[in-house]
Amino acid sequence: MSDRQHASVEDFHSYFLVTGANGGLGYAICCRLIDEFILTRPSSHSLRLIITTRDKTKSHDTIAKLKDHIFRTRKHHKLHEKSPLVPKIYLQSEQVDLCQLRSVQILIKKLSRSLPKLDTVILNAGLGGFTGIDWPLAIWAVLTNFRQEMTYPTFKLGGVGDLTAPQISNPTSSGPTSSQLGQIFCSNVFGHYLLVHGIANLLSNSSATSGRVIWISSLEAYGSTFSIDDLQGLSSPLGYESSKRLTDILALTSRLPVTQQWVDRFLPSPSNHRAPKQYVAHPGICATNILPIHWILVYFMVAAFYLARWIGSPWHTVMSYKGACAPVWLALASQEELDAVEREGGAGKWGSAIDWQGEERASRTEVQGWGIGGKVGDNVGLPKSSRLREAEDLNEDGKERFALVGRSCWHAMEKLRVEWEELLKEEDD
């Protein structure tokens, strides 16, 4: 079989990787991917869905739940399992602890040996690092500014300076000053960063999509929470928000000329292959267990989310399955469709939006310093009550500052990646 024939055959077989798939949004993304693939792809196509969890028990349980979901989807749509008219779904589970760089390297080696390509990687896994709620502040804020606080809360409490376990046994003065990394930073950003760099060759082998990297962010990626001088967010009680702001910056500036020298090192691709593209999405506001509150209070939280939706909030998806709308759309849309959307409106942060009746859709999301697509003068399209209080319309100065911060972030991330890969290699030697 010629290379062209082999590529053509592989176009019918999609390989998707979803991290943190054992619950919440990650599991919902897997379910929605399966449903939409079955209902929109011809019978000649197949999907191999590779999920990652932190241990074998979670992997086993998740695969069992997904198999049951596939059965129920086919039954609901009256599609027989062995029907030649139904696309085939194959499930594969892997284990990785994104807070342990050795674990990430093991997964890279295993995937590189066992897969011919990866079409899409959805980087969902992560930690919130929240320790609770400032209840007096929460009650006052919600009563005086309900929609704003339900969308952009200011009352969450987070830990400060939480670190991973030691990554190496004998740290040297030539590398980072500590054998540890910021726990939230490592789980939400750096572990994924090393993983994607390590499987760049698999992404470059995707002829159908050119390889897609979909970072999962949040509405809470406030500009004020991140500082390039504190890349890992170790000095801030807003470590989660800082990590998500960094995620936005990396994804949205990944195709700007000022970042290309570092992006090309991060995602190297052969000269005859298209370079993988990076996108960023968020689920809106879902009722998950990322915030540690008593189970009775969960019912009040869900009720408040629905109320916010009914009075006009476009972001309260509430259910994780609806929150999976934007990431799954980015994963399954044709490259021609995504390129056309970006030519018209620019590269954006895609969120799972919803109307008061519960109909979800993928919608551009305003990002401080970037607007809705990096285009000065574009209308955000939201009433002021639905925007972050500090939000301002994009101007040329703000866009230039965002690009320069993006350049600094890419430089810092590549420097950190090289340092840690050299340290790990030295310890192996």
Among 240, 313, 363, 386, which one carries the catalytic annotation?
A: 240
244 is catalytic: yes
75 is catalytic: no
Say if strands 212-216 and 13-19 run parallel, antiparallel, or are unpaired. unpaired
Among 58, 117, 156, 244, which one carries the catalytic annotation?
A: 244
Q: Smallest Cα–Cα separation from 323: which of 352, 358, 293?
A: 352
Give the tokens for residue 307. Answer: 């109320």
Type and span of the H or E element at 46? strand 46-53
Q: What is the number of other CB atoms lying within 10 angstroms of the CB of residue 202?
A: 23
C-alpha span between 89 and 82 (Å, rounded) = 11
Give a three-class secondary structure readout of 346-409: CCCEEEEEECCCCCEEEEEECECCCECCCCCCCCCCCCHHHCCCCCCCCCHHHHHHHHHHHHHH
How far separated are the first and last CA of the chain, in Å rounded? 41
C-alpha span between 266 and 262 (Å, rounded) = 6
Give the tokens for residue 68. Answer: 């049951």
Q: H helices within 56-190, ranges in order?
A: 56-76, 101-114, 135-144, 146-151, 183-185
C-alpha span between 271 and 267 (Å, rounded) = 12
The torsion angles phi and psi of 384, rounded to 5 degrees, stand at -55, -30
* Distance, C-alpha 43 to centroid of its chain: 29
Amino acid at 42: P
Among 179, 204, 217, 313, which one carries the catalytic annotation?
A: 217
> What is the residue whose two structure tokens read 């009563």?
143
425 is catalytic: no
For the annotated catalytic residues, the residue numbers are 217, 240, 244
